[in-house]
A and B are shown apart, each in its own frame.
Chain A
Amino acid sequence: MVTLTKAPPTAPAAPPKRARRRLSQDWQLYSLAVLPLLFFAVFRYAPMVGNVIAFRRFRPGGSMFGDDWVGLRYVRMFLADPTFWQVFTNTLIIGALTLIVCFPLPIVLALLLNEVRIKRLKGFVQSVSYLPHFLSVVIVAGMVGQLLSVDGTVNALAGTEIPFLQRPEWFRTIYVSSEVWQTVGWGTILYLAALTTLDEELYDAAKIDGAGRLRQTWHVTLPGIRPTMITLLILNIGTFMAVGFEKILLLYNPLTYPTADVIPTYLYRLGVVSGNFSYGAAIGLFEALIGLILVFSANTISRRTVGTSLW
């Protein structure tokens, strides 16, 4: 236990004095928030304001916030840009596939793990399944490249010589499977935590009512972890548009652009590589706004229908 090194110097303060002390202590608390607030102001909120360059002409070497107002010029530009619509569609498809596949699998795996009665076995499976979460996306992309290369395992097993990473029709499958590989185990943690809080008596009651394992899972377990499921679903929907940008950047190449190029990779090439900052910012702002609308809508719908929400 903690032992205080100094004995109390005086008798406890009287109530008015305590209020004053509390105030001075609050000031000390506020002072602790100064540096973090500076961080948020500079590296989170300034870039939000910096989005005005989407409506201003940015000149290299000119002001960070652009030089002249050009109104919706850049917005009209991307709305008329066929490449933009192509990458927009790709973003929706990859985002939807990822959500449909990567959201339910951790729940299934958590339910399966929960049925394992041998503790050490359960721990072993968990440890192994968490492991990919701790790898750099660069390593994951490297592994994907090795496994799918012409001389790699997948071709060896299938007896084929397909250059998977050069084929646009394979990209989505590759992306989603590698995403599953990397996230499914880690995704079980929150569900397993939620499962430990379930009341055993509910199961006993269900057994008395004659429910088998499956019905117990359906009527007790799933409703029990529903708040966790919904919270994670809302969060997933919020990041729907921000598909795994870094991984796609590492895995794609001009041959697979037709299916692999998404809004973030497009605006990386357009903005950073080619230096069209204002145009890139306009697309980025559009993307961020869709994400914001999605998460707010999901949250509102969820609060109205099932009563669980993030705020």
Chain B
Amino acid sequence: MTGRKVFNVINAVVLSAVVVVTLYPFLNIVARSLSSEEEIIAGRVTLLPRGFDLTTYRLVMSDDLFWTNYRNTVVYTVVATIISIVLTTCYAYVLSKHHLRGRGVLVGIAVFTMFFSGGLIPNYVLVSGLGLRNTIWAVVLPNAINVFNLLVMKAFFESLPVELEEQAAVDGLGTYGILLRIVLPLSKAIVATMLLFYAVAYWNSWFTAFLYLDRADLFPVTVYLRNLIAGATDATSTGSVDTNVAQVAANIKAVTMVLTVVPILTVYPFVQRYFVSGVMLGAVKG
């Protein structure tokens, strides 16, 4: 059994390395966000903050644009997630009905878009042509249905017992009634998973907003952060502490990253198992 022991030791070492390497960048930005400028420039900040300094947090949090963009992210995420979940649920439910004529075509219409897409330029021309530029709709409509999510949800609906719905139909419930009163109450797990998938995706998205929104007051916080990292704007549009501005400019990035990531890191431990079970559902049955 010594071979087994050697393997266990090696395995433990490898997995520990994975954990360390994965967590390190997080700890590093938190440390940088709390450190003073001189320590960062000297390259001395690694795991723990050095020269503890909260000036930058105060500075970023006093920036009106940052909060406007943060609020935009919340609004876009909520609206887009609602639209996505409604459309995805409806279509997944239809696709799960094997007796339905034309079902194969309906599946094909969705699946084909996984392998072929119009591409960046036609999409750009389309969204501009529809007059969606500089409106919330440019962010929330073009990616309303994610086909992978759709298929996971379809697999879940297919796994529900048919008898239940048949009984409900016999009892006089129509399709809408069955979906709302029978199917959805049984599907809380998958609906929760889908809500989380969509919400995280919209919270994190930046490119659609970057492409279709020109006004800074419409940006989500990811675009704010992108402009900051690309050096395209002064982070501190309202920064009045001029001598301090230059001094703290470098760890503004770290602070903004921490503030943007906090909501996800806060909910992550609670929602993580739903994500996992959601993907597993699709994997084992799909």
Contact = CB atoms under 8 A, between A and B. Distances in A.
Given A32-B91, A136-B203, A137-B206, A193 B283 contact: yes
Contact of B121 (A112, A131, A249, A280): A280
Interface string B125-138: 11001000000000
B283 A48 contact: no
A288 B206 contact: no
A193 B279 contact: yes
Interface residues of A, number: 102
Contacts of B168: 4
Interface string A119-153: 00000111111111011111101110111001111
Q: How many interface residues does chain B have, given as a range?
A: 35 or more
A246 to B, nearest CB: 5
B28 A146 contact: yes
Contacts of B22: 128-129, 131-132, 181, 185
A68 to B, nearest CB: 16
Interface stretch (A7-15, A81-89, A96-104): A7-15
A4 B116 contact: no
A5 to B, nearest CB: 8
Interface string B187-215: 00000000000001001111100010000
Given A36-B91, A44-B118, A267-B120, A194 B283 contact: yes
B229 A47 contact: no
B119 A287 contact: yes
B93 A40 contact: no
B175 A25 contact: yes
A28 B25 contact: no
Interface string A269-302: 0011000010011001101100110011000000
Given A29-B97, A130-B275, A272 B170 contact: no
B182 A125 contact: no
Contacts of B261: 135-136, 139
Residue among A43, A112, A139, A291 with most chain B CB within 10 A: A139
B260 interface: yes
A8 B167 CA distance: 10
A285 to B, nearest CB: 6
A244 to B, nearest CB: 11
A255 B44 CA distance: 28
Contacts of B162: none
A155 B106 CA distance: 54
A288 B119 contact: yes
B164 interface: yes
Contacts of B110: 40
A4 B167 CA distance: 10
* Residues of B contacting A: mostly: helix
Interface in B209-253: 211, 222, 225-226, 229-230, 253
B283 A284 contact: no
A305 interface: no
B169 interface: yes
Most buried by A among B113, B114, B119, B206: B119
A67 interface: no
Given A64-B129, A288-B117, A134 B264 contact: yes
Given A8-B170, A36-B90, A291 B125 contact: no
A231 B125 CA distance: 34
A39 interface: yes
A277 B264 contact: no
A64 B125 contact: yes
A135 B42 CA distance: 28
A47 B119 contact: yes
B142 interface: yes
Contacts of A130: 272, 275-276
Contacts of A125: 15, 18-19
Interface stretch (A50-58, A166-174, A199-207): A50-58
Contacts of A129: 18-19, 22
A29 B175 contact: yes
Contact of B46 (A30, A53, A153, A189): A153
B11 A115 contact: yes
B123 interface: yes
A32 B32 CA distance: 51
B222 A136 contact: yes
Contacts of A292: 115-116
Given A130-B272, A136-B205, A264-B120, 10 more contacts: A29-B93, A33-B106, A125-B19, A128-B19, A137-B204, A142-B29, A146-B29, A151-B40, A155-B43, A194-B284
What 5 pairs between A and B have smallest CB-CB spacing?
A47-B118, A50-B122, A284-B119, A136-B204, A28-B175
13 contacts: A2-B164, A26-B101, A47-B118, A47-B122, A64-B125, A112-B14, A125-B18, A125-B19, A129-B18, A139-B260, A142-B225, A156-B46, A185-B18
